[in-house]
């Protein structure tokens, strides 16, 4: 059994001049977008070899962090990626407009620029934004992705490749659909790895039509996330060694030599789940979906959790059960929700809870100089969110008292790069 890490070990010595860019390269770039870096916001950038040599990755915890860091380190040692230059990497979380957004630029040795959008992280804000896609025409991260891609395109005349895993795949396609025709012509390809589809308005837009043929979609055999809304066809089914929703983790995706190990079609569980969710989207109004999402996250708010890792498995299951019994959730939504809960064992939601709780708690820096939206646009989103939110009483839920946060020092640590005399600001993100 081999995954992307084995691919880098086996084929990392082959430069792009010998074997051109492919789908596995895109997944690798999408995976390292989940890491936070010291100094990668620098407009001049750092090569991956330099970042690795000066220990430029911000530390994290959990199995996902260790695997992603290992992927980055192999990239930095390989002839294929070592000289790739990372720049304008940002990680933002805005609670007021319910936005979690992260992206980076990677200038590749073949003369192209890869723009990688991060998927959902461990924050409650990030997960809330994902659920908001069920009823909102656009979410703040999609607006931010469009502006990020526009500004990244202005940095050079390089051809563009856009990649993303999970929500990052959705952001990649959305941003490519919304930028100018001039930028769209420079986009060589868009790579979505188990990313949710577009809403109907976007999937029927002229902008989406212009880039549709450039989309490359990969999903595992029991895909759930990648078959939401108007997903991207044709798609390639990749064999995952995990079960249920845990297949969403790309480290479980199998590789055979220079290619993914593929299957002919998705399995029965994915078909049933896809049809159930699409039935709900077709038979419920945006207002009814909004009520469901608001109910779920008002209950989450009562626990005082700010990250998914703050929720124990038992507490999360209790929340889901309560949502299914709430009177303000319309009968059709409640019926579909209870059907999905009945399939929880098959879908592997229990394993997914543990996976989410093991994700890295990234301390994103919210004060980046390379803004992703204007102050006016942010205020507009904040006002729109305030109009949508109604004051509704939430059922109290017994919650564990929050643990006091550790205070972080103000001390700055400088790490030198003896090769070129540059220094790197390694102040912990706050």
In a domain, 423, yes or no: no
Is the preceding peptide bond at 254 cis, omega within 30 degrees of 0?
no
* Higher pLDDT pick, 406 / 19: 19
CA distances from 413 to 362, 424, 427, 429 (A): 19, 8, 6, 12
Residues 6+ positions from 372 with CB-CB distance below 8 Å: 90, 92, 101, 144, 147, 148
pLDDT at 353: 45
Q: What is the domain count for the chain?
A: 1
In a domain, 426, yes or no: no
- CA angle, residues 119, 69, 414, in degrees to nearest 5: 105
Residues 6+ positions from 387 with CB-CB distance below 8 Å: none
* Higher pLDDT pick, 322 / 39: 39
In a domain, 393, yes or no: no
Picking from 41, 18, 38, 16, the residue whose alpha carbon sits closest to that of residue 26 is 16
Q: Are residues 81 and 410 in contact, defined by beta-carbon separation less than 8 angstroms?
A: no
Report residue 241: phi and psi, to 5°.
-85, -5
pLDDT at 399: 40
> Would you tell me how many other CB atoms lie within 10 Å of the CB of residue 237?
22
* Higher pLDDT pick, 200 / 371: 200
**pLDDT over 90 at 84, yes or no:** yes
pLDDT at 157: 96
Q: Are residues 55 and 190 in contact, defined by beta-carbon separation less than 8 angstroms?
A: no
Residues facing residue 107 across a β-bridge: 85, 113
* Higher pLDDT pick, 188 / 196: 188
Report residue 161: phi and psi, to 5°.
-120, 135
* Higher pLDDT pick, 363 / 268: 268
CA distances from 20 to 14, 111, 363 (A): 9, 11, 35
| Three-class secondary structure of residue 224 per DSSP | coil
Picking from 64, 63, 125, 67, the residue whose alpha carbon sits closest to that of residue 91 is 125
* Higher pLDDT pick, 320 / 138: 138
pLDDT at 37: 93
Q: Which two tokens stand for residue 136?
A: 């909102």
pLDDT at 319: 66
Picking from 102, 44, 38, the residue whose alpha carbon sits closest to that of residue 72 is 38
Per 3-state DSSP, the chain is made up of helix, strand and coil in percentages (nearest 5) of 45, 15, 40
> Would you tell me how many other CB atoms lie within 10 Å of the CB of residue 186?
16
In a domain, 195, yes or no: yes
pLDDT at 8: 96
Q: Which two tokens stand for residue 151?
A: 């500004």
Q: Which two tokens stand for residue 309?
A: 């890792």
**pLDDT over 80 at 414, yes or no:** no
In a domain, 39, yes or no: yes
| Three-class secondary structure of residue 90 per DSSP | strand
* Higher pLDDT pick, 112 / 420: 112
Q: Are residues 354 and 313 in contact, defined by beta-carbon separation less than 8 angstroms?
A: yes
Please tell me the distance from the alpha carbon of residue 379 to that of residue 26, in angstroms, as a whole number. Answer: 35
In a domain, 403, yes or no: no
pLDDT at 412: 41
Residues facing residue 87 across a β-bridge: 105
Whole-number percent of the chain with pLDDT over 90 = 45
Q: What is the mean pLDDT of residues 159-172?
A: 96
- CA 196, 199, 203, 207 dihedral sign is negative
In a domain, 387, yes or no: no
DSSP, residue by residue, 149-202 = HHHHHHT----EEEEEETHHHHHHHHHHHHS-HHHHHHEEEEEEES---B-HHH
Domain containing 104: what range?
1-377
**pLDDT over 80 at 397, yes or no:** no
Confidence of residue 356 (pLDDT cuts 50, 70, 90): very low
Picking from 71, 259, 104, 77, the residue whose alpha carbon sits closest to that of residue 172 is 104
The chain-wide mean pLDDT, for the chain, equals 79
Q: What is the pLDDT of residues 262-311, one digit of tens each?
A: 999 999 988 988 887 777 777 777 777 777 767 777 777 777 777 666 66
**pLDDT over 90 at 81, yes or no:** yes
**pLDDT over 90 at 400, yes or no:** no
pLDDT at 316: 62
pLDDT at 387: 63
**pLDDT over 80 at 351, yes or no:** no
Q: Which two tokens stand for residue 28?
A: 């690798």
Q: Are residues 11 and 48 in contact, defined by beta-carbon separation less than 8 angstroms?
A: no
Least-confidence region, from 192-201, 206-215, 351-360: 351-360
Please tell me the distance from the alpha carbon of residue 155 to that of residue 205, in angstroms, as a whole number. Answer: 27
**pLDDT over 70 at 321, yes or no:** no
- CA 352, 358, 360, 361 dihedral sign is positive
Specify the DSSP class assigned to residue 19: S
Please tell me the distance from the alpha carbon of residue 54 to that of residue 57, in angstroms, as a whole number. Answer: 9
Q: What is the pLDDT of residues 205-223, one digit of tens each?
A: 999 999 999 999 999 999 9
Confidence of residue 408 (pLDDT cuts 50, 70, 90): very low
User: What burial class does residue 281 get, using C-beta atoms within 10 Å of its C-beta: 0-12 exposed, 13-18 middle, 19+ buried?
Assistant: middle
pLDDT at 343: 55
In a domain, 415, yes or no: no
Please tell me the distance from the alpha carbon of residue 72 to that of residue 84, in angstroms, as a whole number. Answer: 12
**pLDDT over 90 at 129, yes or no:** no
User: What burial class does residue 154 get, using C-beta atoms within 10 Å of its C-beta: 0-12 exposed, 13-18 middle, 19+ buried?
Assistant: exposed
């Amino acid at each position: 059994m081999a995954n992307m890490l084995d691919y880098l070990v086996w084929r990392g010595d082959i430069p792009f001049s010998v074997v051109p860019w492919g789908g596995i390269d895109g997944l690798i770039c999408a995976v390292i977008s989940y890491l936070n870096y010291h100094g990668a916001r620098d407009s001049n950038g750092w090569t991956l070899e330099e970042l690795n040599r000066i220990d430029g990755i911000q530390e994290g915890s959990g199995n996902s962090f260790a695997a992603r860091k290992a992927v980055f380190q192999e990239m930095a040692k390989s002839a294929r990626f070592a000289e790739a230059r990372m720049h304008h990497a940002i990680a933002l979380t805005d609670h007021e407009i319910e936005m979690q957004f992260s992206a980076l630029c990677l200038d590749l040795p073949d003369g192209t620029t890869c723009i990688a959008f991060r998927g959902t992280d461990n924050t409650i804000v990030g997960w809330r934004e994902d659920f908001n896609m069920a009823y909102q025409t656009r979410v703040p991260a999609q607006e931010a992705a469009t502006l990020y891609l526009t500004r990244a395109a202005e940095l050079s005349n390089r051809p563009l490749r856009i990649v993303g895993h999970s929500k990052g795949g959705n952001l990649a396609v959305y941003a490519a659909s919304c930028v100018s025709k001039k930028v769209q012509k420079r986009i060589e390809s868009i790579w979505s790895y188990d990313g949710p589809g577009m809403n109907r308005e976007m999937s029927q837009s002229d902008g989406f039509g212009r880039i549709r043929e450039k989309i490359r979609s990969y999903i595992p055999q029991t895909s759930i996330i990648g078959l939401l809304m108007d997903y991207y066809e044709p798609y390639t089914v990749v064999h995952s060694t995990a079960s249920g929703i845990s297949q969403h983790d790309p480290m479980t995706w199998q590789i055979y030599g220079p290619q993914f190990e593929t299957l002919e079609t998705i399995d029965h569980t994915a078909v049933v789940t896809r049809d159930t969710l699409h039935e709900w989207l077709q038979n419920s109004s945006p207002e009814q979906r909004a009520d469901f999402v608001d109910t779920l996250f008002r209950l989450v708010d009562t626990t005082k959790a700010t990250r998914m890792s703050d929720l124990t498995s038992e507490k999360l299951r209790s929340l889901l059960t309560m949502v299914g019994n709430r009177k303000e959730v319309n009968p059709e939504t409640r019926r579909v929700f209870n059907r999905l809960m009945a399939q929880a064992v098959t879908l592997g939601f229990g394993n997914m809870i543990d996976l989410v709780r093991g994700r890295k708690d990234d301390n994103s820096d919210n004060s980046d100089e390379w803004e992703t939206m204007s102050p006016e646009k942010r205020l507009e989103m904040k006002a729109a969110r305030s109009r949508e939110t109604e004051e509704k009483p939430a059922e109290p839920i017994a919650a564990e008292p929050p643990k006091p946060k550790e205070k972080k020092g103000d001390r700055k640590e400088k790490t030198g790069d003896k090769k070129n005399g540059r220094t790197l600001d390694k102040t912990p993100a706050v």
